[in-house]
Structure 1
Amino acid sequence: MASSDPTVAAVFDAVAATAPEIRAALPGRRVESGMENASGESVLAGDLYADELLGDAFTAIDGVGSFVSEEREEAVDAGGPVGGGPDDAYAVAIDPLDGSSNLRSNNAMGTVVGVYDAPLPARGRDLVAAGYVLYGPITTMVVADEAGVREEVVERAPDGDGVERSVVEGDLTLPATPTVYGFGGRVPDWPADFRAYARAVEDDLKLRYGGAMVGDVNQVLTYGGVFAYPALRSAPEGKLRLQFEANPIAYVIERAGGASSDGTGSILDVEPEAVHQRTPLYVGNEALIDRLEAAVGD
Protein backbone atom coordinates (compact mmCIF):
# COMPACT_ATOMS: atom_id res chain seq x y z
CA MET A 1 0.00 0.00 0.00
CA ALA A 2 1.42 3.37 -1.02
CA SER A 3 2.01 6.13 1.52
CA SER A 4 -0.85 8.54 2.17
CA ASP A 5 1.65 11.40 1.76
CA PRO A 6 1.77 12.17 -1.98
CA THR A 7 5.38 13.37 -1.92
CA VAL A 8 6.59 10.28 -0.05
CA ALA A 9 4.64 8.11 -2.49
CA ALA A 10 6.23 9.96 -5.42
CA VAL A 11 9.74 9.51 -3.98
CA PHE A 12 9.37 5.74 -3.68
CA ASP A 13 7.61 5.54 -7.04
CA ALA A 14 10.77 7.13 -8.43
CA VAL A 15 13.00 4.71 -6.52
CA ALA A 16 11.04 1.75 -7.86
CA ALA A 17 11.02 3.12 -11.40
CA THR A 18 14.79 3.57 -11.47
CA ALA A 19 15.71 0.29 -9.76
CA PRO A 20 15.51 -1.91 -12.89
CA GLU A 21 17.51 0.69 -14.85
CA ILE A 22 20.23 0.80 -12.20
CA ARG A 23 20.38 -2.97 -12.05
CA ALA A 24 20.50 -3.38 -15.83
CA ALA A 25 23.33 -0.84 -16.14
CA LEU A 26 25.63 -2.40 -13.54
CA PRO A 27 27.43 -5.01 -15.71
CA GLY A 28 29.09 -2.26 -17.77
CA ARG A 29 29.91 -0.04 -14.79
CA ARG A 30 32.13 -2.18 -12.58
CA VAL A 31 35.22 0.00 -13.16
CA GLU A 32 36.67 2.93 -11.25
CA SER A 33 35.40 6.33 -12.35
CA GLY A 34 38.65 8.06 -11.48
CA MET A 35 36.82 10.27 -9.00
CA GLU A 36 36.43 10.44 -5.22
CA ASN A 37 33.24 11.27 -3.33
CA ALA A 38 32.84 13.87 -0.59
CA SER A 39 34.13 11.36 1.97
CA GLY A 40 37.36 10.79 0.04
CA GLU A 41 36.41 7.32 -1.19
CA SER A 42 37.00 6.01 -4.70
CA VAL A 43 33.82 6.02 -6.79
CA LEU A 44 32.85 3.37 -9.32
CA ALA A 45 31.08 4.20 -12.56
CA GLY A 46 28.02 2.43 -11.13
CA ASP A 47 27.92 4.85 -8.19
CA LEU A 48 27.84 7.85 -10.50
CA TYR A 49 25.21 6.38 -12.80
CA ALA A 50 22.86 5.54 -9.91
CA ASP A 51 23.43 8.97 -8.35
CA GLU A 52 22.64 10.85 -11.56
CA LEU A 53 19.56 8.76 -12.34
CA LEU A 54 18.08 9.13 -8.85
CA GLY A 55 19.03 12.80 -8.59
CA ASP A 56 17.19 13.60 -11.82
CA ALA A 57 14.14 11.66 -10.63
CA PHE A 58 13.95 13.26 -7.18
CA THR A 59 14.53 16.86 -8.25
CA ALA A 60 11.62 16.54 -10.69
CA ILE A 61 9.17 15.85 -7.82
CA ASP A 62 7.21 18.97 -6.79
CA GLY A 63 7.33 18.22 -3.07
CA VAL A 64 11.10 17.68 -2.94
CA GLY A 65 12.95 20.90 -2.11
CA SER A 66 16.50 19.57 -1.90
CA PHE A 67 18.46 16.43 -2.68
CA VAL A 68 21.83 15.24 -1.42
CA SER A 69 23.76 12.02 -1.80
CA GLU A 70 26.88 10.35 -0.53
CA GLU A 71 28.50 11.16 -3.87
CA ARG A 72 27.86 14.94 -3.71
CA GLU A 73 29.62 17.57 -1.64
CA GLU A 74 26.52 19.69 -1.10
CA ALA A 75 22.76 19.51 -1.44
CA VAL A 76 21.09 20.27 -4.76
CA ASP A 77 18.36 22.90 -4.59
CA ALA A 78 15.25 21.39 -6.18
CA GLY A 79 13.03 24.44 -5.59
CA GLY A 80 10.91 25.38 -2.61
CA PRO A 81 11.83 25.82 1.06
CA VAL A 82 12.51 22.73 3.16
CA GLY A 83 11.11 22.61 6.68
CA GLY A 84 8.19 21.75 8.88
CA GLY A 85 5.62 24.19 7.51
CA PRO A 86 2.47 22.95 5.77
CA ASP A 87 3.65 24.25 2.40
CA ASP A 88 7.32 23.36 2.82
CA ALA A 89 9.05 20.65 0.81
CA TYR A 90 11.02 17.61 1.92
CA ALA A 91 14.75 16.92 1.68
CA VAL A 92 15.85 13.58 0.23
CA ALA A 93 19.19 11.98 1.18
CA ILE A 94 20.50 8.83 -0.48
CA ASP A 95 23.32 6.37 -0.71
CA PRO A 96 22.78 5.60 -4.40
CA LEU A 97 24.72 2.33 -4.49
CA ASP A 98 25.40 0.97 -1.02
CA GLY A 99 28.02 -1.77 -1.05
CA SER A 100 29.29 -0.83 -4.51
CA SER A 101 32.63 -2.48 -3.68
CA ASN A 102 30.65 -5.72 -4.07
CA LEU A 103 30.05 -4.92 -7.73
CA ARG A 104 33.34 -6.45 -8.83
CA SER A 105 32.66 -9.69 -6.97
CA ASN A 106 28.97 -9.77 -7.99
CA ASN A 107 27.55 -9.72 -4.47
CA ALA A 108 24.56 -7.86 -3.03
CA MET A 109 24.22 -4.09 -3.25
CA GLY A 110 21.45 -1.62 -2.61
CA THR A 111 20.11 1.93 -2.56
CA VAL A 112 19.25 3.72 0.72
CA VAL A 113 16.75 6.59 0.87
CA GLY A 114 15.70 8.99 3.64
CA VAL A 115 12.93 11.60 3.32
CA TYR A 116 13.37 14.42 5.86
CA ASP A 117 10.95 17.16 6.88
CA ALA A 118 13.84 19.50 7.72
CA PRO A 119 16.88 21.03 5.99
CA LEU A 120 19.91 18.77 5.94
CA PRO A 121 21.80 17.90 8.02
CA ALA A 122 18.85 16.78 10.16
CA ARG A 123 18.08 14.43 13.01
CA GLY A 124 16.60 11.03 12.31
CA ARG A 125 13.48 12.18 14.18
CA ASP A 126 12.88 14.51 11.22
CA LEU A 127 12.43 11.57 8.86
CA VAL A 128 8.92 11.05 7.53
CA ALA A 129 9.87 7.94 5.56
CA ALA A 130 12.90 5.83 4.72
CA GLY A 131 13.68 2.68 2.85
CA TYR A 132 16.04 0.75 0.66
CA VAL A 133 16.27 -1.29 -2.50
CA LEU A 134 18.16 -4.58 -2.37
CA TYR A 135 19.68 -5.83 -5.62
CA GLY A 136 19.84 -9.49 -4.64
CA PRO A 137 18.72 -12.57 -6.58
CA ILE A 138 15.52 -10.55 -6.98
CA THR A 139 15.03 -6.80 -6.59
CA THR A 140 13.09 -5.86 -3.46
CA MET A 141 12.19 -2.52 -1.90
CA VAL A 142 11.52 -2.01 1.81
CA VAL A 143 9.65 1.18 2.74
CA ALA A 144 8.97 2.52 6.24
CA ASP A 145 6.52 5.38 6.74
CA GLU A 146 3.65 6.41 9.00
CA ALA A 147 1.77 3.22 8.11
CA GLY A 148 4.56 0.82 9.13
CA VAL A 149 7.06 -1.20 7.09
CA ARG A 150 6.35 -3.07 3.88
CA GLU A 151 8.40 -5.13 1.43
CA GLU A 152 7.76 -5.14 -2.30
CA VAL A 153 9.20 -7.03 -5.25
CA VAL A 154 10.10 -4.65 -8.08
CA GLU A 155 10.29 -5.94 -11.66
CA ARG A 156 10.38 -4.41 -15.09
CA ALA A 157 6.94 -4.75 -16.72
CA PRO A 158 6.73 -7.59 -19.27
CA ASP A 159 6.21 -5.13 -22.11
CA GLY A 160 9.28 -3.17 -20.98
CA ASP A 161 7.21 -0.08 -20.25
CA GLY A 162 7.48 0.84 -16.57
CA VAL A 163 7.70 -1.45 -13.57
CA GLU A 164 5.50 -3.85 -11.67
CA ARG A 165 5.43 -3.78 -7.87
CA SER A 166 3.92 -6.48 -5.69
CA VAL A 167 3.71 -6.27 -1.91
CA VAL A 168 5.04 -9.47 -0.37
CA GLU A 169 4.78 -8.30 3.25
CA GLY A 170 2.53 -5.42 4.20
CA ASP A 171 3.39 -5.26 7.90
CA LEU A 172 7.01 -6.22 8.30
CA THR A 173 8.32 -6.67 11.84
CA LEU A 174 11.49 -8.15 13.30
CA PRO A 175 11.05 -11.76 14.44
CA ALA A 176 10.92 -12.00 18.22
CA THR A 177 13.61 -14.68 18.33
CA PRO A 178 16.88 -13.38 16.83
CA THR A 179 18.92 -15.66 14.57
CA VAL A 180 21.71 -13.78 12.76
CA TYR A 181 24.44 -11.20 13.29
CA GLY A 182 26.77 -9.28 10.99
CA PHE A 183 29.53 -6.92 12.11
CA GLY A 184 31.62 -4.65 9.90
CA GLY A 185 35.24 -3.61 10.22
CA ARG A 186 38.35 -5.70 10.86
CA VAL A 187 38.36 -7.61 14.15
CA PRO A 188 41.80 -6.25 15.21
CA ASP A 189 40.36 -2.75 14.70
CA TRP A 190 37.41 -3.35 17.04
CA PRO A 191 37.68 -1.77 20.50
CA ALA A 192 38.00 -4.29 23.31
CA ASP A 193 34.50 -3.68 24.66
CA PHE A 194 32.86 -4.34 21.29
CA ARG A 195 35.04 -7.41 20.76
CA ALA A 196 33.77 -8.83 24.05
CA TYR A 197 30.17 -8.14 22.98
CA ALA A 198 30.77 -9.90 19.66
CA ARG A 199 32.18 -12.97 21.40
CA ALA A 200 29.12 -13.09 23.65
CA VAL A 201 26.48 -12.91 20.91
CA GLU A 202 28.20 -15.25 18.48
CA ASP A 203 27.48 -18.12 20.84
CA ASP A 204 23.76 -17.75 20.15
CA LEU A 205 23.56 -16.35 16.60
CA LYS A 206 24.69 -17.30 13.10
CA LEU A 207 27.13 -15.09 11.21
CA ARG A 208 25.66 -13.42 8.12
CA TYR A 209 27.87 -10.67 6.71
CA GLY A 210 28.22 -9.79 3.05
CA GLY A 211 29.87 -6.36 3.01
CA ALA A 212 26.83 -4.37 1.89
CA MET A 213 24.90 -2.76 4.74
CA VAL A 214 21.56 -3.10 2.93
CA GLY A 215 22.00 -6.84 2.48
CA ASP A 216 23.21 -7.39 6.02
CA VAL A 217 20.40 -5.31 7.54
CA ASN A 218 17.86 -7.14 5.40
CA GLN A 219 19.06 -10.41 6.94
CA VAL A 220 18.35 -8.95 10.38
CA LEU A 221 14.93 -7.68 9.30
CA THR A 222 14.09 -11.11 7.88
CA TYR A 223 15.46 -13.39 10.58
CA GLY A 224 15.96 -11.19 13.64
CA GLY A 225 19.34 -10.40 15.15
CA VAL A 226 21.82 -7.55 15.13
CA PHE A 227 23.88 -5.62 12.58
CA ALA A 228 26.75 -3.39 13.65
CA TYR A 229 29.37 -1.22 12.08
CA PRO A 230 31.07 -0.18 15.31
CA ALA A 231 33.37 2.63 16.25
CA LEU A 232 36.85 1.43 15.29
CA ARG A 233 40.28 2.10 16.73
CA SER A 234 41.19 3.71 13.39
CA ALA A 235 37.79 5.43 13.02
CA PRO A 236 36.38 6.29 16.46
CA GLU A 237 33.58 8.31 14.85
CA GLY A 238 32.47 5.27 12.85
CA LYS A 239 32.42 4.62 9.11
CA LEU A 240 28.79 4.94 8.03
CA ARG A 241 27.22 8.29 7.14
CA LEU A 242 24.49 9.54 9.46
CA GLN A 243 22.26 11.27 6.89
CA PHE A 244 22.46 8.75 4.04
CA GLU A 245 22.86 5.40 5.78
CA ALA A 246 22.47 5.32 9.56
CA ASN A 247 19.36 7.47 10.01
CA PRO A 248 17.30 5.79 7.25
CA ILE A 249 18.26 2.27 8.34
CA ALA A 250 17.60 3.08 12.01
CA TYR A 251 14.19 4.47 11.06
CA VAL A 252 13.29 1.29 9.16
CA ILE A 253 14.39 -1.00 12.00
CA GLU A 254 12.66 1.03 14.71
CA ARG A 255 9.43 1.18 12.69
CA ALA A 256 9.69 -2.61 12.39
CA GLY A 257 9.75 -2.98 16.18
CA GLY A 258 13.51 -3.09 16.66
CA ALA A 259 16.02 -0.67 18.13
CA SER A 260 18.99 1.39 16.97
CA SER A 261 21.96 2.92 18.74
CA ASP A 262 25.20 4.80 18.28
CA GLY A 263 26.44 3.10 21.43
CA THR A 264 24.65 5.36 23.91
CA GLY A 265 21.14 5.93 22.55
CA SER A 266 18.92 5.84 19.48
CA ILE A 267 20.57 6.87 16.22
CA LEU A 268 17.48 8.96 15.54
CA ASP A 269 18.39 11.26 18.44
CA VAL A 270 21.93 12.03 17.25
CA GLU A 271 22.39 15.77 16.73
CA PRO A 272 23.80 16.34 13.24
CA GLU A 273 26.76 18.61 12.64
CA ALA A 274 27.53 18.05 8.95
CA VAL A 275 25.95 16.45 5.90
CA HIS A 276 28.72 13.86 5.59
CA GLN A 277 29.01 13.18 9.33
CA ARG A 278 29.89 9.60 10.29
CA THR A 279 28.59 7.51 13.17
CA PRO A 280 28.80 4.02 14.65
CA LEU A 281 25.61 2.08 13.86
CA TYR A 282 23.98 -0.76 15.77
CA VAL A 283 20.49 -2.02 14.81
CA GLY A 284 18.43 -5.09 15.60
CA ASN A 285 16.26 -6.69 18.23
CA GLU A 286 15.86 -4.48 21.27
CA ALA A 287 17.37 -6.93 23.76
CA LEU A 288 20.53 -7.23 21.67
CA ILE A 289 20.86 -3.46 21.37
CA ASP A 290 20.35 -3.08 25.13
CA ARG A 291 23.19 -5.57 25.68
CA LEU A 292 25.32 -3.62 23.22
CA GLU A 293 24.80 -0.33 25.02
CA ALA A 294 25.60 -1.96 28.35
CA ALA A 295 28.83 -3.29 26.84
CA VAL A 296 30.11 -0.24 24.97
CA GLY A 297 28.23 2.76 26.36
CA ASP A 298 30.09 5.38 28.36
Structure 2
Amino acid sequence: MATQADPHADAIEEIFTTVAALAPDIRDALPGRRVQNDETNPSGETQLAADAYADELFLDHLGALDSVVEYASEERTKIVPTDGEEETGLSVAIDPLDGSSNLKSNNTMGTIVAVYDAPLPAAGSDLVAAAYVLFGPITTMITADGDGVTEYLVDDGVREVITEDVQLPDDPSVYGFGGRVPDWPDDFTAYTEDIESDDSMKLRYGGAMIGDINQVLIYGGVFAYPALESAPNGKLRLQFEGNPIGFIIESAGGRSSDGTQSLLDVEPNDVHQRVPVYVGNDELIEQLEAALD
Protein backbone atom coordinates (compact mmCIF):
# COMPACT_ATOMS: atom_id res chain seq x y z
CA MET A 1 0.00 0.00 0.00
CA ALA A 2 1.08 3.59 -0.55
CA THR A 3 2.65 5.31 2.43
CA GLN A 4 0.93 8.14 4.24
CA ALA A 5 3.76 10.40 2.96
CA ASP A 6 2.18 9.96 -0.45
CA PRO A 7 -0.47 12.70 -0.83
CA HIS A 8 -2.61 10.26 -2.83
CA ALA A 9 -2.27 7.35 -0.39
CA ASP A 10 -5.81 7.52 0.98
CA ALA A 11 -7.35 7.97 -2.46
CA ILE A 12 -5.38 5.05 -3.91
CA GLU A 13 -6.39 2.86 -0.99
CA GLU A 14 -10.05 3.81 -1.48
CA ILE A 15 -9.91 2.96 -5.19
CA PHE A 16 -8.15 -0.38 -4.64
CA THR A 17 -10.55 -1.31 -1.84
CA THR A 18 -13.53 -0.54 -4.07
CA VAL A 19 -12.15 -2.61 -6.97
CA ALA A 20 -11.51 -5.59 -4.67
CA ALA A 21 -14.97 -5.30 -3.12
CA LEU A 22 -16.59 -5.53 -6.57
CA ALA A 23 -14.61 -8.60 -7.66
CA PRO A 24 -17.05 -11.17 -6.17
CA ASP A 25 -20.02 -9.44 -7.83
CA ILE A 26 -18.31 -9.53 -11.22
CA ARG A 27 -17.21 -13.14 -10.81
CA ASP A 28 -20.67 -14.25 -9.65
CA ALA A 29 -22.30 -12.51 -12.63
CA LEU A 30 -20.17 -14.20 -15.29
CA PRO A 31 -22.15 -17.44 -15.79
CA GLY A 32 -25.29 -15.61 -16.89
CA ARG A 33 -23.53 -13.04 -19.08
CA ARG A 34 -21.62 -15.09 -21.64
CA VAL A 35 -23.80 -13.90 -24.55
CA GLN A 36 -22.87 -11.14 -26.97
CA ASN A 37 -24.49 -7.73 -26.91
CA ASP A 38 -25.60 -6.12 -30.17
CA GLU A 39 -22.76 -3.59 -29.82
CA THR A 40 -19.02 -3.31 -30.31
CA ASN A 41 -16.70 -1.37 -28.03
CA PRO A 42 -14.66 1.63 -29.29
CA SER A 43 -11.86 -0.74 -30.31
CA GLY A 44 -14.20 -2.57 -32.65
CA GLU A 45 -14.44 -5.71 -30.53
CA THR A 46 -17.71 -7.51 -29.93
CA GLN A 47 -19.02 -6.67 -26.49
CA LEU A 48 -20.29 -9.38 -24.17
CA ALA A 49 -23.01 -8.80 -21.60
CA ALA A 50 -20.32 -9.39 -18.96
CA ASP A 51 -18.21 -6.49 -20.34
CA ALA A 52 -21.12 -4.07 -20.13
CA TYR A 53 -22.13 -5.27 -16.65
CA ALA A 54 -18.62 -4.89 -15.22
CA ASP A 55 -18.21 -1.47 -16.81
CA GLU A 56 -21.47 -0.16 -15.34
CA LEU A 57 -20.62 -1.58 -11.94
CA PHE A 58 -17.21 0.11 -11.85
CA LEU A 59 -18.61 3.42 -13.07
CA ASP A 60 -21.34 3.39 -10.41
CA HIS A 61 -18.96 2.65 -7.54
CA LEU A 62 -15.70 4.33 -8.58
CA GLY A 63 -17.61 7.30 -9.95
CA ALA A 64 -19.21 7.80 -6.55
CA LEU A 65 -15.85 8.28 -4.80
CA ASP A 66 -14.72 11.80 -3.90
CA SER A 67 -11.22 10.69 -4.88
CA VAL A 68 -12.20 10.08 -8.54
CA VAL A 69 -12.90 12.95 -10.95
CA GLU A 70 -12.79 11.09 -14.29
CA TYR A 71 -13.66 7.57 -15.38
CA ALA A 72 -12.66 6.06 -18.71
CA SER A 73 -13.26 2.52 -19.87
CA GLU A 74 -12.28 0.38 -22.80
CA GLU A 75 -16.02 -0.14 -23.25
CA ARG A 76 -16.90 3.58 -23.57
CA THR A 77 -16.22 6.03 -26.36
CA LYS A 78 -15.98 9.08 -24.10
CA ILE A 79 -14.39 9.96 -20.77
CA VAL A 80 -17.01 10.33 -18.03
CA PRO A 81 -16.62 13.25 -15.58
CA THR A 82 -17.70 12.32 -12.05
CA ASP A 83 -18.69 14.33 -8.97
CA GLY A 84 -15.31 13.88 -7.25
CA GLU A 85 -13.33 16.70 -5.73
CA GLU A 86 -11.63 18.39 -8.69
CA GLU A 87 -8.66 19.85 -6.79
CA THR A 88 -7.56 16.55 -5.25
CA GLY A 89 -9.27 13.85 -7.33
CA LEU A 90 -7.67 11.29 -9.62
CA SER A 91 -8.56 9.87 -13.03
CA VAL A 92 -9.26 6.16 -13.41
CA ALA A 93 -8.88 4.27 -16.69
CA ILE A 94 -10.12 0.69 -16.56
CA ASP A 95 -10.38 -2.42 -18.67
CA PRO A 96 -13.41 -3.89 -16.88
CA LEU A 97 -12.97 -7.44 -18.14
CA ASP A 98 -9.71 -8.09 -19.93
CA GLY A 99 -9.86 -11.38 -21.83
CA SER A 100 -13.65 -11.58 -21.86
CA SER A 101 -13.41 -13.65 -25.06
CA ASN A 102 -12.15 -16.39 -22.73
CA LEU A 103 -15.53 -16.50 -21.00
CA LYS A 104 -17.01 -18.87 -23.59
CA SER A 105 -14.18 -21.36 -23.05
CA ASN A 106 -14.03 -20.74 -19.27
CA ASN A 107 -10.44 -19.55 -19.20
CA THR A 108 -8.64 -16.83 -17.22
CA MET A 109 -9.69 -13.17 -17.38
CA GLY A 110 -9.45 -10.13 -15.15
CA THR A 111 -9.73 -6.39 -14.56
CA ILE A 112 -6.99 -3.78 -15.14
CA VAL A 113 -6.98 -0.42 -13.35
CA ALA A 114 -4.81 2.64 -14.00
CA VAL A 115 -4.88 5.60 -11.60
CA TYR A 116 -3.58 8.90 -13.00
CA ASP A 117 -2.96 12.26 -11.36
CA ALA A 118 -3.89 14.09 -14.57
CA PRO A 119 -6.81 14.47 -16.98
CA LEU A 120 -7.23 11.67 -19.49
CA PRO A 121 -5.64 10.75 -21.82
CA ALA A 122 -2.62 10.88 -19.53
CA ALA A 123 1.03 9.90 -19.76
CA GLY A 124 2.62 7.01 -17.92
CA SER A 125 4.56 9.56 -15.88
CA ASP A 126 1.19 10.71 -14.48
CA LEU A 127 0.42 7.26 -13.05
CA VAL A 128 0.32 7.11 -9.27
CA ALA A 129 -0.90 3.52 -9.02
CA ALA A 130 -2.05 0.54 -11.06
CA ALA A 131 -3.61 -2.82 -10.34
CA TYR A 132 -5.20 -5.88 -11.80
CA VAL A 133 -7.62 -8.48 -10.50
CA LEU A 134 -7.16 -12.00 -11.84
CA PHE A 135 -10.09 -14.42 -12.01
CA GLY A 136 -8.28 -17.74 -12.02
CA PRO A 137 -8.97 -20.80 -9.87
CA ILE A 138 -8.82 -18.25 -7.05
CA THR A 139 -9.23 -14.46 -7.21
CA THR A 140 -6.02 -12.52 -6.69
CA MET A 141 -5.10 -8.85 -7.00
CA ILE A 142 -1.78 -7.25 -7.86
CA THR A 143 -1.29 -3.60 -6.88
CA ALA A 144 1.56 -1.20 -7.59
CA ASP A 145 2.10 2.20 -6.00
CA GLY A 146 4.94 4.24 -4.51
CA ASP A 147 5.76 1.39 -2.13
CA GLY A 148 6.18 -1.29 -4.81
CA VAL A 149 4.13 -4.30 -5.87
CA THR A 150 1.92 -6.41 -3.60
CA GLU A 151 0.00 -9.62 -4.33
CA TYR A 152 -3.29 -10.21 -2.51
CA LEU A 153 -5.85 -12.95 -2.19
CA VAL A 154 -9.32 -11.46 -2.65
CA ASP A 155 -11.64 -13.32 -0.30
CA ASP A 156 -15.27 -12.18 -0.20
CA GLY A 157 -14.21 -8.79 -1.56
CA VAL A 158 -11.48 -8.22 1.05
CA ARG A 159 -7.75 -8.17 0.27
CA GLU A 160 -5.39 -10.39 2.24
CA VAL A 161 -1.65 -9.99 1.59
CA ILE A 162 0.04 -12.98 -0.03
CA THR A 163 3.39 -11.44 -1.02
CA GLU A 164 4.86 -8.01 -0.40
CA ASP A 165 7.54 -6.37 -2.55
CA VAL A 166 6.92 -8.67 -5.53
CA GLN A 167 9.92 -8.78 -7.89
CA LEU A 168 10.40 -10.57 -11.20
CA PRO A 169 12.59 -13.65 -10.65
CA ASP A 170 16.17 -13.31 -11.90
CA ASP A 171 15.91 -16.50 -13.97
CA PRO A 172 13.07 -16.00 -16.48
CA SER A 173 11.24 -19.09 -17.69
CA VAL A 174 8.04 -18.15 -19.59
CA TYR A 175 7.06 -16.24 -22.72
CA GLY A 176 3.83 -15.29 -24.48
CA PHE A 177 3.48 -13.57 -27.87
CA GLY A 178 0.22 -12.22 -29.27
CA GLY A 179 -1.01 -11.60 -32.79
CA ARG A 180 -1.04 -13.89 -35.80
CA VAL A 181 2.39 -15.30 -36.64
CA PRO A 182 2.08 -14.50 -40.40
CA ASP A 183 1.37 -10.89 -39.41
CA TRP A 184 4.55 -10.48 -37.35
CA PRO A 185 7.30 -8.26 -38.82
CA ASP A 186 10.49 -10.09 -39.72
CA ASP A 187 12.56 -8.50 -36.95
CA PHE A 188 10.08 -9.56 -34.27
CA THR A 189 9.89 -13.05 -35.77
CA ALA A 190 13.67 -13.34 -35.49
CA TYR A 191 13.47 -12.34 -31.82
CA THR A 192 10.79 -14.97 -31.10
CA GLU A 193 12.93 -17.65 -32.72
CA ASP A 194 15.78 -16.78 -30.37
CA ILE A 195 13.49 -17.01 -27.35
CA GLU A 196 11.92 -20.29 -28.50
CA SER A 197 15.34 -21.85 -29.06
CA ASP A 198 16.18 -21.37 -25.37
CA ASP A 199 15.35 -24.67 -23.63
CA SER A 200 14.81 -22.86 -20.33
CA MET A 201 11.86 -20.88 -21.73
CA LYS A 202 8.33 -22.27 -21.90
CA LEU A 203 5.36 -20.97 -23.90
CA ARG A 204 2.52 -19.56 -21.79
CA TYR A 205 -0.18 -17.83 -23.82
CA GLY A 206 -3.80 -18.02 -22.78
CA GLY A 207 -5.69 -15.43 -24.83
CA ALA A 208 -6.14 -13.00 -21.93
CA MET A 209 -3.24 -10.58 -21.56
CA ILE A 210 -3.68 -10.28 -17.82
CA GLY A 211 -3.20 -14.01 -17.29
CA ASP A 212 -0.04 -14.00 -19.40
CA ILE A 213 1.30 -10.96 -17.55
CA ASN A 214 0.72 -12.67 -14.23
CA GLN A 215 2.78 -15.65 -15.36
CA VAL A 216 5.65 -13.29 -16.29
CA LEU A 217 5.38 -11.56 -12.92
CA ILE A 218 5.42 -14.85 -10.99
CA TYR A 219 7.96 -16.83 -13.04
CA GLY A 220 9.92 -14.19 -14.93
CA GLY A 221 10.01 -13.93 -18.70
CA VAL A 222 8.59 -11.80 -21.49
CA PHE A 223 5.16 -10.92 -22.85
CA ALA A 224 4.71 -9.20 -26.19
CA TYR A 225 1.81 -7.99 -28.28
CA PRO A 226 3.89 -6.58 -31.12
CA ALA A 227 3.45 -4.09 -33.88
CA LEU A 228 1.92 -6.05 -36.75
CA GLU A 229 2.20 -5.73 -40.50
CA SER A 230 -1.53 -5.03 -40.61
CA ALA A 231 -1.56 -2.94 -37.40
CA PRO A 232 1.71 -1.01 -36.87
CA ASN A 233 0.47 0.27 -33.51
CA GLY A 234 -0.46 -3.20 -32.28
CA LYS A 235 -3.73 -4.06 -30.57
CA LEU A 236 -3.48 -3.08 -26.92
CA ARG A 237 -4.56 0.31 -25.53
CA LEU A 238 -2.04 2.62 -23.89
CA GLN A 239 -4.37 4.08 -21.23
CA PHE A 240 -6.05 0.84 -20.15
CA GLU A 241 -3.37 -1.79 -20.72
CA GLY A 242 0.07 -0.54 -21.81
CA ASN A 243 0.59 2.09 -19.12
CA PRO A 244 -0.74 0.20 -16.08
CA ILE A 245 0.97 -3.07 -17.03
CA GLY A 246 4.20 -1.21 -17.79
CA PHE A 247 3.95 0.52 -14.41
CA ILE A 248 3.44 -2.76 -12.56
CA ILE A 249 6.25 -4.61 -14.33
CA GLU A 250 8.70 -1.73 -13.92
CA SER A 251 7.74 -1.40 -10.24
CA ALA A 252 8.59 -5.10 -9.89
CA GLY A 253 12.09 -4.63 -11.27
CA GLY A 254 11.36 -5.39 -14.92
CA ARG A 255 11.17 -3.27 -18.04
CA SER A 256 8.49 -2.17 -20.47
CA SER A 257 8.84 -0.97 -24.04
CA ASP A 258 6.94 0.03 -27.15
CA GLY A 259 9.94 -1.23 -29.12
CA THR A 260 12.10 1.85 -28.63
CA GLN A 261 11.26 3.37 -25.24
CA SER A 262 9.47 2.68 -21.96
CA LEU A 263 5.70 2.47 -22.32
CA LEU A 264 5.54 5.11 -19.59
CA ASP A 265 7.30 7.56 -21.93
CA VAL A 266 4.84 7.19 -24.83
CA GLU A 267 3.10 10.49 -25.64
CA PRO A 268 -0.68 10.12 -25.15
CA ASN A 269 -2.96 11.51 -27.85
CA ASP A 270 -6.26 9.66 -27.49
CA VAL A 271 -7.99 7.69 -24.77
CA HIS A 272 -8.25 4.65 -27.08
CA GLN A 273 -4.73 4.98 -28.52
CA ARG A 274 -3.06 1.66 -29.35
CA VAL A 275 0.55 0.79 -28.70
CA PRO A 276 2.87 -2.23 -29.12
CA VAL A 277 3.46 -3.77 -25.68
CA TYR A 278 6.63 -5.56 -24.62
CA VAL A 279 7.22 -6.27 -20.92
CA GLY A 280 9.40 -8.59 -18.89
CA ASN A 281 12.85 -9.11 -17.46
CA ASP A 282 15.33 -6.37 -18.26
CA GLU A 283 17.68 -8.47 -20.36
CA LEU A 284 14.85 -9.89 -22.48
CA ILE A 285 13.43 -6.44 -23.28
CA GLU A 286 16.93 -5.12 -24.01
CA GLN A 287 17.41 -8.04 -26.40
CA LEU A 288 14.06 -7.27 -28.04
CA GLU A 289 14.80 -3.56 -28.51
CA ALA A 290 18.12 -4.48 -30.11
CA ALA A 291 16.33 -6.87 -32.47
CA LEU A 292 13.79 -4.18 -33.46
CA ASP A 293 16.42 -1.44 -33.89
Number of residue pairs aligned between Structure 1 and Structure 2: 287
Find the counterpart in structure 1 of residue 96 from structure 2: 96
| 1:79 Cα deviation from its structure 2 partner | 2.7
Equivalent of 1:33 in 25, 32, 37: 37
Kindly indicate whether the alpha-carbon contact (under 8 Å) linking 1:174 and 1:285 is maintained by their aligned counterparts in 2. yes
Find the counterpart in structure 2 of residue 133 from structure 1: 133
What percent of counterpart residues are identical? 63
Distance 2:252 2:2 in 1: 17
Distance 2:153 2:238 in 1: 27
Distance 1:11 1:248 in 2: 15
Distance 2:3 2:53 in 1: 27
Find the counterpart in structure 2 of residue 167 from structure 1: 161
Segments of structure 2 that go 5 or more residues without pairing to the other structure are none
Find the counterpart in structure 2 of residue 246 from structure 1: 242
Find the counterpart in structure 1 of residue 118 from structure 2: 118
Find the counterpart in structure 2 of residue 200 from structure 1: 194
Distance 1:265 1:170 in 2: 28
Kindly indicate whether the alpha-carbon contact (under 8 Å) linking 1:3 and 1:9 is maintained by their aligned counterparts in 2. no
Q: How does 1:260-271 map to 2 (within 5 A)?
A: 260-271=256-267
After superposition, the C-alpha distances for 1:193-235 in whole angstroms (9 at most, x for unaligned) are 0000000011221000001010000000000000000001111
TM-score, length-normalised on structure 1? 0.94
Equivalent of 1:52 in 56, 60, 65: 56
The question of 1:288 aligning with 2:284 is answered yes
Segments of structure 1 that go 5 or more residues without pairing to the other structure are 157-162
The question of 1:79 aligning with 2:83 is answered yes
| 1:2 Cα deviation from its structure 2 partner | 6.2
Q: Which segments of structure 1 move beyond 6 Å, counting only runs of 4 or more? A: none
Q: How does 1:178-217 map to 2 (within 5 A)?
A: 178-204=172-198, 205-217=201-213
Deviates more, 1:140-149 or 1:36-45: 36-45
RMSD: 1.1
After superposition, the C-alpha distances for 1:110-151 in whole angstroms (9 at most, x for unaligned) are 100000001111111100000100000000000000010000
The question of 1:222 aligning with 2:218 is answered yes
TM-score, length-normalised on structure 2? 0.96
Distance 1:202 1:54 in 2: 39
Distance 1:225 1:272 in 2: 27
Distance 1:35 1:153 in 2: 34
Q: Which amino acid aligns with 1:242?
A: L
Kindly indicate whether the alpha-carbon contact (under 8 Å) linking 2:140 and 2:151 is maintained by their aligned counterparts in 1. yes
After superposition, the C-alpha distances for 1:230-250 in whole angstroms (9 at most, x for unaligned) are 001111111000000110000
Distance 1:285 1:202 in 2: 16
Find the counterpart in structure 1 of residue 13 from structure 2: 9
Instruction: Give the 3-state SS of the residue equivalent to 2:240 in structure 1.
Output: helix
After superposition, the C-alpha distances for 1:248-298 in whole angstroms (9 at most, x for unaligned) are 00000000000000000100000011000000000000000000000113x
